[in-house]
Amino acid sequence: MTHTLMKLPFDENALEPYISKETMQYHHGKHHAGYVNKLNTLIKDTEFAEMALEEIIKKSDGGIFNNASQVYNHDFYFNGMSSKKSAPSDTLLEWIQRDFDSMEQFKERFLQTAATLFGSGWVWLSINKESSLIIEARSNADNPILYEHRPLLTCDVWEHAYYIDYRNVRAAYLEKWWELVNWDFVSENLANHLYIEFPCDEYSGACEFKEGK
């Protein structure tokens, strides 16, 4: 199986002025593509050659894990942004209010976690094994699926995500990134989780996207 670089769900300049076309060309066209190419090289003629990406992440270590996880993480990051304004679904908002008290407190905690993560890594909104929403900071290529968490949203805080546009001011990047969050993507990830975990007749929120609501 050959892993391929995902096509961006928007034009390279679509996120301007928050994220520049130049950043997108380097981030997606160089860094993301580099992880894909390196992964394909590393898994050739190995037990991982025919595995799906998530399976590789769960079963590998070292260079294979790092590159596989970075492909997954970048796929998730780019899908989680949009130039079009969106809002959390009623179900997602209900969960955020349940676990963080309010959308405002969730934003503050998420961005603070991202701003203070030491070094490179990712900050995730995930569902843990107790079906609670959590914010988790993961260094380097670490990934929530290793802990049986269901990711809903991620922010890349490696310097290559923001250095061209914001230099070393990570907090400024984070505030602008928040304006680009694709809440439809986040809401659908939650809906898909609920659809798997609960039949529609037991949890109406699970049907929210399946029925086009």
User: Considering all CA atoms of the chain, what is the largest pairwise distance in Å, rounded to the nearest integer?
Assistant: 50
For residue 200, what pLDDT is reported?
57
What the chain holds in terms of domains, given with CATH numbers, is: 21-79 (1.10.287.990), 90-207 (3.55.40.20)
Give the tens place of pLDDT for each residue, 119-134: 999 999 999 999 999 9
Backbone angles phi, psi at 2, to 5 degrees: -100, 125
**Contact in structure between 1 and 50 (CB atoms under 8 Å):** yes
CA distance 154 to 73: 8
Work out the average pLDDT over 197-203: 55
Q: How confident is the model at residue 212 (pLDDT cuts 50, 70, 90)?
A: very low
Contact 210, 191 (CB under 8 A): yes
pLDDT of residue 85: 96
pLDDT (tens digit, 9 = 90+) per residue, 29-70? 999 999 999 999 999 999 999 999 999 999 999 999 999 999
For the residues 6-11, what does the mean pLDDT come to?
A: 98
Tell me how far apart the alpha carbons of residues 116 and 74 are, in angstroms, rounded to a whole number. 20
Q: CB count, 10 Å around CB of 78? A: 22
Among candidates 160, 94, 150, which has minimal Cα distance to 121?
Answer: 160
Q: For residue 209, give every residue at least 6 positions away whose Cβ sits within 8 Å of its Cβ, in sequence order, or none.
A: 89, 187, 188, 191, 192, 195
Q: DSSP labels for 40-105?
A: HHHHTTSTTTT--HHHHHHH--HHHHHHHHHHHHHHHHHHTB-SS-----HHHHHHHHHHHSSHHH
The encoded tokens of residue 37 equal 């190419």
Q: What is the pLDDT of residue 210?
A: 45
pLDDT over 80 at 21, yes or no: yes
Closest among 24, 65, 2 to 177, alpha carbons compared: 24
Note the pLDDT of residue 195.
76
For residue 42, which of 63, 24, 27 has the smallest C-alpha distance? 63
Alpha carbons 39 and 4: distance in angstroms, whole number? 10
Which of the four pLDDT bands, split at 50, 70 and 90, describes residue 207?
low
pLDDT at 86: 98
Cα 14 to Cα 36: distance, rounded to the nearest angstrom: 23
Q: pTM of whole model > 0.85?
A: yes
Query: Per-residue pLDDT tens for 65-114?
Result: 999 999 999 999 999 999 999 999 999 999 999 999 999 999 999 999 99
Q: Which residue, 27, 37, 26, 32, is CA-closest to 2? A: 37
Average pLDDT over residues 205-209: 48
pLDDT band at 213 (very low <50, low <70, confident <90, very high): very low
**pLDDT tens digits for range 141-155:** 999 999 999 999 999
Closest CA to 124 of 72, 58, 59, 170: 72
Percent of the chain with pLDDT over 70: 92
How far is Cα 18 from Cα 162, in angstroms, rounded to an integer?
Answer: 10
